[in-house]
């Protein structure tokens, strides 16, 4: 049914896809979420399971998604429908695409709230709004920022508008152009922050916490969280990578790109941990503090350090840019679908998606003030969006992708797209057929407690 009259857009520059995909992967997941869930699930053993998930499940899934996107040249729904048809299989498989598109949108709805915290902290840092001398003072600043729906809503709305302004301009003039300066800027700021952090002491406890293996701290809930986070942090099963892949020229190597993105993402997460935990332990804080972790301990640590305000501003500017290069990738699947199927222009698609996003994200934002008590099963709306996407939609969507690749589609599809040597192709196939699906199923069944039945 799809009628895309114009040829599909492609990345202009040689580094277009790599920059955009790394921009998508590196985000709040690395700097905000990874440290706090590592804290919650007890450190080293969690990190080990997480790394195993990244390389045994994440990389094969990412290669699959890029290949599906490039082969099908469309949004997840359209691309998967075309590729499945090419192999003569039933159209019900496009459900995997619908799930991914929905998942990207749900993630974005809570992501803009956290990105809004980051933007507001740039402002606070600049205007001296982060004064205080104790952990309690910082907790007070953080909750005051959340208290007013108008204040918090202003910041999440700002992120929504910024995201839509970029994607509305299109793949080359919007996404590619913005990541072209934001990604180099981000790397530079991160390097400066790490050099700065290395001179401020307190490294030992953090290293022990992140890398000391204590099997007894590992729970099945922790394993599901590690699996879910591996998907989240690599932007998988959410339409982002697949849709970016649909703009990839035929000549690019999918395997090399996927491994590059995974390594960059992992390095940034570990560096974020090494930058944040020393400050936590030095201030006698609890590493299991939860979502507010980097917004409370870090500003306090910066205050007691030379040139702390400058580096504090740098940190939150860096975090905000990391968030923006991710948020633009989360709507791209929806935008591409709207443009190809509903005949909308890029700006029209951006603003229609933006309005819906604004409504849902406002509900998520209210979870921190007036809607704090609107809970089901102890979770508010914000928590549910996070929980459903990273613990269920992503692992299940990923399972759908690897089953498609390993068992449903014709093998030529991936032989041609991946263009690997016979040995590497065999490794990839073994991963998507056995290792990734089994890993996902075992962790799932374990976490749901079905073994006990
Ligand atoms: N990978 C991003 C991060 O780590 C989050 C993300 C999820 C981006 C899904 C796109 C799609 O912050
Ligand atoms: Na990430």
Which atom of ligand 1 is nearest the CA belonging to 329?
10
Query: Which residue from 35, 99, 111, 243 has its CB within 8 A of the most atoms of ligand 1, so it is best to mutate?
Result: 111
Angstrom distance (rounded) from CA 21 to CA 1: 29
Q: Is residue 140 part of a domain?
A: yes
Which atom of ligand 1 is nearest the CA belonging to 25?
1
Q: Is residue 282 part of a domain?
A: yes
Which of 197-211, 304-318, 408-422 tops mean pLDDT? 408-422
At 172, list the tokens. 């080359």
Q: What per-residue confidence (pLDDT) applies to 196? A: 80
Please, what is the average pLDDT of the chain? 91
Q: Which ligand is nearest to the CA of 398?
A: 1
Whether 39 contacts 287, CB under 8 Å: yes
Angle 163-62-326 (CA atoms, 0-180°, nearest 5)? Answer: 15
Q: What does the pLDDT look like over 114-152, one tens digit per residue?
A: 999 999 999 999 998 887 888 888 889 999 999 999 999
- Of the candidate ranges 92-96, 209-213, 322-326, 335-339, the one whose mean pLDDT is the lowest: 209-213
Confidence of residue 452 (pLDDT cuts 50, 70, 90): low
Q: What per-residue confidence (pLDDT) applies to 7? A: 76
Q: What per-residue confidence (pLDDT) applies to 365? A: 97
Angstrom distance (rounded) from CA 143 to CA 368: 8
Q: What per-residue confidence (pLDDT) applies to 421? A: 96
Q: Give mean pLDDT, residues 426-432.
A: 97
Q: What per-residue confidence (pLDDT) applies to 200? A: 66
Q: Is residue 407 part of a domain?
A: yes
Which atom of ligand 1 is nearest the CA belonging to 326?
8
* 405: pLDDT strictly greater than 80: yes
* 369: pLDDT strictly greater than 70: yes
* 1: pLDDT strictly greater than 50: no
Residue listed under structure tokens 């990412």: 62
* 3: pLDDT strictly greater than 70: no
Q: What per-residue confidence (pLDDT) applies to 450? A: 63
Q: Is residue 375 part of a domain?
A: yes
CA trace torsion 406, 410, 414, 415 (10° rounding): 120
Q: Is residue 366 part of a domain?
A: yes
At 78, list the tokens. 């359209």
* 447: pLDDT strictly greater than 80: no
DSSP one-letter code for 349: H
Query: Which residue from 20, 21, 22, 24 has its CB within 8 A of the most atoms of ligand 1, so it is best to mutate?
Result: 24
Which residues have a Cβ under 8 Å from the Cβ of 329 and sit 6 or more positions away? 20, 21, 23, 24, 175, 235, 240, 241, 243, 244
Query: Which residue from 232, 388, 393, 397 has its CB within 8 A of the most atoms of ligand 1, so it is best to mutate?
Result: 232
Q: What per-residue confidence (pLDDT) applies to 209? A: 84
Cα(104) to ligand 1 centroid in Å equals 9
Residue 84 belongs to what domain range?
16-452
Confidence of residue 6 (pLDDT cuts 50, 70, 90): low
Q: What is the pTM of this model?
A: 0.93
Angstrom distance (rounded) from CA 64 to CA 255: 9
- Of the candidate ranges 98-102, 207-211, 267-271, 288-292, the one whose mean pLDDT is the lowest: 288-292
Query: Which residue from 31, 76, 107 has its CB within 8 A of the most atoms of ligand 1, so it is best to mutate?
Result: 107
- ipTM of the shown complex: 0.98
Whether 293 contacts 280, CB under 8 Å: yes
Q: What does the pLDDT look like over 61-70, one tens digit per residue?
A: 999 999 999 9
Angle 70-71-72 (CA atoms, 0-180°, nearest 5)? Answer: 95
Q: Give mean pLDDT, residues 313-341.
A: 97
Which atom of ligand 1 is nearest the CA belonging to 28?
12
Cα(326) to ligand 1 centroid in Å equals 6
Angstrom distance (rounded) from CA 224 to CA 46: 10
**Which protein residue's CA is at the shortest distance from atom 10 of ligand 1?**
235
Q: Give mean pLDDT, residues 29-55.
A: 92
Q: Is residue 1 part of a domain?
A: no
Confidence of residue 5 (pLDDT cuts 50, 70, 90): low
Number of domains in the chain: 1
Question: Tell me, what CATH number does 436's domain have?
Answer: 1.10.4160
Cα(452) to ligand 1 centroid in Å equals 34
Cα(122) to ligand 2 centroid in Å equals 21
Cα(452) to ligand 2 centroid in Å equals 34
The CA distances from residue 299 to 101, 268, 290, in Å, are 36, 20, 16
Q: What does the pLDDT look like over 244-285, one tens digit per residue?
A: 999 999 999 999 999 999 999 999 998 888 888 887 787 777
Q: Is residue 5 part of a domain?
A: no
Q: What per-residue confidence (pLDDT) applies to 279? A: 77
Which atom of ligand 1 is nearest the CA belonging to 234?
1
Angstrom distance (rounded) from CA 120 to CA 43: 29
Angstrom distance (rounded) from CA 128 to CA 115: 20
What lines the ligand 1 site, CB under 6 Å? 24-25, 27-30, 104, 107, 232-233, 235, 238, 240, 326, 329-330
Q: What per-residue confidence (pLDDT) applies to 277? A: 81
Q: Is residue 373 part of a domain?
A: yes
Q: What per-residue confidence (pLDDT) applies to 453? A: 45
Give the three-class secondary structure for 406. Answer: helix
Q: Which residue has the higher pLDDT, 153 or 138?
A: 153
């Amino acid at each position: 049914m799809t009628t895309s009259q114009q040829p599909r857009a492609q990345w202009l520059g040689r580094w277009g896809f790599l920059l955009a995909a790394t921009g998508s992967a590196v985000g709040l997941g690395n700097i905000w979420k990874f440290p706090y869930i590592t804290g919650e699930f007890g450190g080293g053993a969690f990190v080990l399971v997480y790394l195993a998930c990244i390389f045994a499940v994440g990389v094969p899934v990412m290669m699959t998604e890029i290949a599906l996107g490039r082969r099908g040249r469309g949004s997840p729904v359209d691309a998967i429908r075309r590729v499945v048809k090419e192999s003569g299989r039933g159209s019900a498989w496009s459900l995997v695409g619908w799930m991914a598109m929905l998942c990207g949108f749900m993630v974005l709805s809570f992501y803009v709230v956290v990105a809004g915290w980051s933007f507001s902290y740039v402002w606070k840092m600049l205007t001296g709004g982060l004064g205080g001398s104790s952990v309690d003072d910082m907790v007070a600043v953080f909750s005051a920022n959340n208290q007013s729906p108008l204040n918090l809503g202003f910041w999440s709305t700002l992120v929504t508008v910024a995201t839509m302004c970029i994607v509305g301009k299109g793949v080359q003039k919007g996404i590619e152009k913005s990541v072209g300066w934001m990604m180099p800027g981000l790397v530079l700021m991160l390097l400066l922050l790490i050099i700065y952090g290395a001179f401020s002491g307190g490294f030992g406890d953090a290293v022990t916490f992140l890398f000391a293996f204590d099997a007894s701290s590992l729970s099945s809930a922790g394993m599901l969280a590690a699996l879910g986070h591996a998907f989240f942090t690599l932007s998988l099963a959410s339409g982002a990578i697949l849709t970016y892949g649909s703009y990839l020229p035929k000549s690019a190597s999918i395997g090399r790109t996927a491994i590059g993105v995974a390594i960059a993402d992992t390095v940034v997460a570990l560096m974020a941990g090494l930058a944040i935990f020393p400050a936590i332990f030095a201030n006698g804080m609890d590493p299991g503090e939860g979502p507010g972790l980097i917004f409370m301990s870090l500003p306090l640590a910066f205050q007691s350090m030379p040139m702390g305000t400058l580096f504090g501003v740098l940190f939150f500017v860096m975090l905000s840019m990391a968030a923006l290069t991710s948020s633009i990738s989360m709507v791209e699947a929806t935008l591409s679908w709207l443009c190809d199927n509903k005949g909308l222009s890029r700006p029209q698609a951006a603003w229609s998606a933006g309005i819906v996003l604004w409504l849902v994200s406002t509900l998520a934002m209210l979870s921190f003030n007036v809607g704090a008590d609107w809970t089901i099963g102890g979770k508010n709306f914000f928590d549910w969006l996070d929980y459903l996407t990273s613990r269920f939609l992503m692992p299940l969507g990923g399972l759908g992708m690897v089953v498609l690749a390993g068992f449903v589609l014709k093998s030529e599809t991936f032989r041609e797209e991946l263009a690997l040597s016979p040995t590497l192709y065999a490794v990839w196939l073994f991963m998507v057929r056995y290792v990734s699906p089994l890993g996902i199923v075992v962790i799932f069944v374990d976490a749901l407690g079905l073994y006990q039945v």
